[in-house]
């Protein structure tokens, strides 16, 4: 019996959320697992607040995760892996009991909780698809033409994007609001829900900018006075083009499939013609075999090219969608802070911090309904490094004292863009390296009960001279090659 199990393990299998195929010893399941704020790169047996089991092999290799099954012939262990800056996944490892040196188990309620969480997030893709189907959209005539509305709990969405993208946006925005509630617990409830306007065409967004007399480069903004997020995209154009290409590819595929169905008949006609012309059986066999091989190569090549093109187009559309959602996450953070945590009419969050955190969360991993921050945005990091290498010290004081209107970005490289980079780098450092932006400490800094000026207020947060702090900050960012460690304690 054990020999059979060993043979099956040797053959192996690879399972994904969509199917199965023979080809690997381990089972790889891509799924998102939640964290609370920032995860340590060497979190050991705890990942994002999850209490995990661990297993050590006789060669010293240690896995953290969940024991799925154990028996005399084979154990199955789900190792939870968390690549910095990318979604978490699990590797299902079949193990020979003789290779296992030690096991650290969970018992009772902690183990049941881990099993339940793993089961739910293992089915994350199906859960999100179900959520999309459950979204109750209502057809509507919006100010920019026909579209959809969604009357949610935390926000009201109005969209001119297509139905699928509108549903996806609703699901993702609900997830991001839940995530923000974990990161910054709500201190109040707003009088009315945030309004989100999603445009499927950029020209619709530009008309709003003209109507509001706004001159901004960003494809999205949040207006506190209107309590409204406005996002511009070209998703309708991309979606239509993608569908046209898919239709064209489907027609080509059907044509080749029809040719494939009739090929045996055509090949038999060729063989009959060759016999009529006096070719012997051996010559006919060689000719028909060569033509069959040529056709099969042509058929396979054509389908392969279609598949490559479709994957490339789908990847491009996914990237455009990701960028649009990232900007929406950014503006949603501003809206969440204003509505649920620090309203500007009583306790406004400093502009640099509001923009710095929004940029961090814009590129954070949204795993289920929680956020994970474990790697800096490489684009912003490279731009900030270049800026720091070219500039002298004193940038943090300029950032802290900058009026709000100086953060207005018209194009990359301008003063507003540089302030954004400084804000991102400072917020990242305070979270990732200093672990200062959480709980009561963050509340004291934002509320500023003693009425301190910006620099004095910041020095009270960091509890050290500003020049000394800036030297350490610059050194940390200029020398950063791999994610450091930061874990939320509050």
- What is the SS3 string spanning the chain? CHHHHHHHHHHCCEECCCCEECCCCCEEEECCCCCCCECCCCCCCEECCEECEEEEECCCCEEEEEEEECCCCCEEEEEEECCCCCCCEEEEEEECHHHEEEEECCCHHHHHHHHHHHHHHHCHHHHHHHHHHHCCCEEEEECCEEEEEEECCCEEEEECCCHHHHHHHHHHHHHHHHHHHHHCCCCCCCCCCEEEEEECCHHHHHHHHHHCCCCCCCCEEEECCCCEEEEECCHHHHHHHHHHHHHHHHHHHHHHHHHHHHHHHHHHHHHHHHHHCCCCHHHHHHHHHHHHHHHHHHHHHHHHHHHHHHHHHHHHHHHHHHHHHHHHHHHHHHHHHHHHHCCCCCCCCCHHHHHHHHHHHHCCEEECCEEEECCCCHHHHHHHHHHHHHCCCCHHHHHHHCCHHHHCCCCCCCHHHHHHHHHHHHHHHHHHCCCCCCHHHHHHHHHCCCCCCHHHHHHHHHCCCHHHHHHHHHHHHHHCCCCCCCCCCC
Do 288 and 424 share a structural domain?
A: no
Do 401 and 419 share a structural domain?
A: yes
Final residue in a domain of this structure, among 87, 122, 157: 122
Final residue in a domain of this structure, among 88, 122, 156: 122
pLDDT of residue 101: 94
Do 86 and 23 share a structural domain?
A: yes
Do 446 and 427 share a structural domain?
A: yes
Do 140 and 114 share a structural domain?
A: no
82-139: pLDDT as tens digits: 776 666 677 888 888 999 999 999 999 999 988 988 887 777 666 666 677 888 899 9
Do 222 and 148 share a structural domain?
A: yes
pLDDT of residue 74: 85
pLDDT of residue 15: 26
pLDDT of residue 363: 82
Q: How many domains, in total, are found in the chain?
A: 3
Do 188 and 336 share a structural domain?
A: yes
Question: Considering the entire predicted model, what is its pTM?
Answer: 0.68
pLDDT of residue 305: 84
pLDDT of residue 402: 94
Do 279 and 160 share a structural domain?
A: yes
Do 303 and 273 share a structural domain?
A: yes
pLDDT of residue 432: 79
pLDDT of residue 30: 33
Do 243 and 150 share a structural domain?
A: yes
The whole domain housing 205 covers 126-348
Final residue in a domain of this structure, among 59, 92, 122: 122
pLDDT of residue 292: 87
Do 130 and 118 share a structural domain?
A: no
Mean pLDDT by groups of 10 residues along the chain of 490 residues: 40 27 32 32 42 92 91 85 70 87 94 86 67 86 86 91 89 86 85 92 92 87 94 84 81 84 88 89 89 86 83 78 86 94 92 94 72 79 92 89 82 80 94 82 93 95 94 91 41
Do 15 and 158 share a structural domain?
A: no
């Amino acid at each position: 019996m054990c020999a059979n199990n060993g043979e099956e393990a040797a053959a192996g299998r690879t399972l994904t959320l969509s199917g199965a195929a023979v080809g690997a010893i381990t089972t790889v399941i891509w799924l998102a697992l939640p964290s609370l704020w920032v995860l340590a790169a060497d979190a050991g047996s705890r990942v994002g607040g999850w209490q995990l089991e661990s297993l050590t092999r006789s060669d010293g290799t240690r896995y953290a995760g969940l024991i799925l099954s154990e028996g005399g012939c084979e154990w199955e262990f789900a190792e939870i892996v968390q690549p910095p800056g990318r979604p978490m996944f699990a590797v299902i490892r079949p193990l020979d009991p003789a290779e296992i040196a030690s096991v650290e188990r969970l018992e009772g309620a902690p183990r049941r909780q881990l099993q339940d969480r793993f089961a739910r997030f293992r089915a994350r893709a199906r859960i999100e698809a179900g959520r999309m189907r459950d979204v109750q959209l209502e057809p509507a005539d919006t100010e920019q033409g026909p579209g959809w509305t969604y009357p949610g709990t935390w926000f009201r969405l109005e969209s001119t994007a297509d139905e699928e993208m509108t549903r996806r946006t609703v699901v993702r925005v609900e997830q991001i609001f839940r995530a923000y509630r974990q990161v910054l617990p709500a201190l109040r409830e707003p009088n009315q829900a945030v309004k989100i306007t999603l445009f499927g065409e950029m020209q619709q967004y530009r008309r709003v900018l003209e109507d509001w007399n706004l001159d901004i480069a960003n494809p999205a903004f949040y207006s506190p006075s209107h309590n409204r997020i406005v996002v511009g995209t070209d998703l309708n154009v991309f979606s239509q083009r993608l569908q046209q290409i898919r239709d064209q590819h489907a027609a080509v595929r059907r044509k080749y499939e029809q040719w494939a169905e009739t090929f045996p008949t055509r090949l038999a006609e060729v063989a009959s013609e060759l016999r009529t012309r006096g070719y012997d059986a051996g010559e006919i066999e060689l000719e028909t075999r060569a033509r069959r091989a040529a056709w099969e190569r042509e058929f396979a090549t054509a389908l392969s090219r279609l598949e490559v093109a479709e994957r490339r187009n789908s990847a491009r559309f996914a990237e455009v969608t990701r960028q649009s959602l990232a900007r929406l996450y950014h503006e949603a953070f501003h809206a969440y802070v204003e509505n649920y945590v620090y309203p500007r009419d009583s306790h406004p969050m400093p502009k640099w911090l509001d923009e710095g955190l929004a940029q961090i969360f814009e590129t954070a991993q949204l795993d289920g309904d929680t956020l994970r921050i474990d790697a800096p945005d490489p684009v912003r990091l490279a731009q900030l490094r270049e800026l720091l290498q070219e500039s002298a010290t004193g940038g943090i004081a300029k950032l802290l004292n900058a009026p709000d209107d100086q953060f207005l970005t018209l194009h990359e490289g301008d003063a507003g863009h540089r302030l954004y980079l400084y804000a991102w780098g400072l917020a990242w450092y305070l979270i990732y390296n200093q672990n200062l932006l959480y709980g009561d400490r963050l509340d004291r800094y934002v509320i500023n009960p003693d009425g301190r000026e910006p620099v004095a207020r910041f020095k009270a947060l960091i509890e050290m001279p500003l020049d000394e702090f800036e030297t350490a900050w610059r050194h940390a960012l200029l020398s950063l090659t791999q994610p450091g460690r930061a874990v939320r304690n509050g």
